[in-house]
Amino acid sequence: MKWEDLAKELTQPTDSKIVLLVMDGLGGLPVNGFTELKLPINRIWTKRLERGICGVTDPVFMGITPGSGPAHLAIFGYDPLYYQLGRGILEAMGTGVEVGREDVVARGNFATLKDGIVVDRRAGRISTEENIRLCAFLNQTIQEIDGVKFSFYSGKEHRFVLKITGPGLSDALTDADPQKEGKPPVPATAVAPEAEFTAAVINKFLERLKPVLKNEPKANYALLRGFSKFPSHLPPMTEIYNFKPAAIANYPMYRGLTRLLGMDVLNVGPETEEIFSVLEKNYDRYNFFYLHFKKTDSAGEDGRYEDKIKAIEEIDRFIPRLWALQPDVLVITSDHSTPAVLKSHSWHPNPFVLVSATAAPDEVEHFTERECAKGRLGRFPSLHIMPLMLAHALKLKKYGA
């Protein structure tokens, strides 16, 4: 029996509240003996978390470095090896495109076509301003084909996102991209019978592009890759967990993902303080809160070790406010590690703490990777975070008799 089915059977509505703070890319590696969670900085935190149990989590399994998509799916209780998010979906979410469960999205490149041959797959890397103008023009000119709505979202330089909306769309399509220059364009091909209508619509669109863009010196055509849809077999959180969830996230990808998972996505600005004031304002309206903090990951990705420490210190100041709300379950962890020394996501496990009246506290005194690894929760898959939070919030009934 899968966790999703078990959850549907076992979760019960209660008033208890869960607050999950994900500090993106929090886990790090030592520089001169100290990771970014170096001891001196988290005194407030540690004091407030004395009722906690600690552990470290693996987002996928040992050794696997996850992207933000799979890492978050795991935290929300969805097996990231079973539910896969397509490239197009992630690109669209990262660009801030609102993707619906039935929409198909693709990554687009403006390209140069000459005498029926793709001579430049990136249209000479046109400027982003040009791209914005072209997308606005296409949004006006090609609004709909065969009942399917077309929307264009400009990215950097030659890149854009195409979203198509309508009934009966499928993402079982090959790329409409010859992959190399000096070749003619290739149509999108359906790899499953249910995608034949979508393939036909996409290919009609590609044909219409030619006259529409014929006066453009460089960007007179487009290539489309990574057609994808949100996994249709992925049940929304609201269907399986019997709670009312809200996401407090500022970055498009996390907003897009949580919206597709069925959470209410609350508006929050870029300032760290806002995460907590939005939580406070909406505290009575929901019983599950996902708080996303991005700065730890950004600093890690850029290799800014000191800035990552500062980002952690920034959060540390707000822990008393978090604690003042007295949530029944408070979890602080990361989706994946982003050690500044690696300047990238990594496979290292995430520090994890859970604070709850039903947690028999352990003896961990400092919230660091090394200390958390000695915690009573041991090392466990991120996939078990959700059942653990629900259990401690007394939202899970007994399994079997």
Which residues here bind its own copies, judged by CB under 8 A? 1, 6, 10, 29-30, 35, 56, 60-70, 80-82, 84-85, 87, 90-91, 94, 342, 344-348, 358, 360, 362-363, 369-370, 373, 376-380, 384, 386-392, 396-401
Contact 38, 311 (CB under 8 A): no
Q: Nearest distance from residue 346's CB to its own copies, in Å?
A: 8
DSSP one-letter code for 82: T
Nearer to its own copies, 62 or 117 (CB): 62
Nearer to its own copies, 35 or 242 (CB): 35
Q: Nearest distance from residue 26's CB to its own copies, in Å?
A: 14
Nearer to its own copies, 88 or 166 (CB): 88
User: Which amino acid belongs to residue 25?
Assistant: G
Closest CA to 390 of 1, 2, 9: 9
How many Å apart are CA 55 and CA 375, to the nearest integer? Answer: 5
Nearer to its own copies, 31 or 190 (CB): 31
How many Å apart are CA 36 and CA 55, to the nearest integer? Answer: 18
Q: Nearest distance from residue 71's CB to its own copies, in Å?
A: 8
Nearer to its own copies, 310 or 379 (CB): 379
Nearer to its own copies, 69 or 327 (CB): 69
8: left (phi over 0), alpha (psi -120 to 50) or beta: alpha
Closest CA to 49 of 387, 352, 376: 352
- C-beta neighbour count of 117 within 10 angstroms: 13
In 77-205, where do the E strands start and end?
A: 104-114, 117-120, 144-145, 148-154, 159-165
Q: Nearest distance from residue 170's CB to its own copies, in Å?
A: 21
Q: Nearest distance from residue 213's CB to its own copies, in Å?
A: 29
Nearer to its own copies, 87 or 208 (CB): 87
Contact 169, 229 (CB under 8 A): yes
Nearer to its own copies, 94 or 166 (CB): 94
Nearer to its own copies, 164 or 389 (CB): 389
How many Å apart are CA 333 and CA 335, to the nearest integer? Answer: 7
Closest CA to 203 of 90, 106, 101, 99: 106
259-263: long-range contacts at Cβ-Cβ below 8 A with a sequence spacing of 24 or more? 259/98, 260/99, 260/101, 260/230, 260/236, 261/76, 261/78, 261/234, 261/236, 261/237, 262/236, 262/237, 262/238, 263/237, 263/238, 263/290
Q: Nearest distance from residue 227's CB to its own copies, in Å?
A: 15
Q: Nearest distance from residue 214's CB to its own copies, in Å?
A: 35
Contact 67, 61 (CB under 8 A): no
Q: Nearest distance from residue 324's CB to its own copies, in Å?
A: 24
Distance (Å) of CA 387 to CA 244, 303, 391? 16, 34, 6
Q: Nearest distance from residue 348's CB to its own copies, in Å?
A: 7
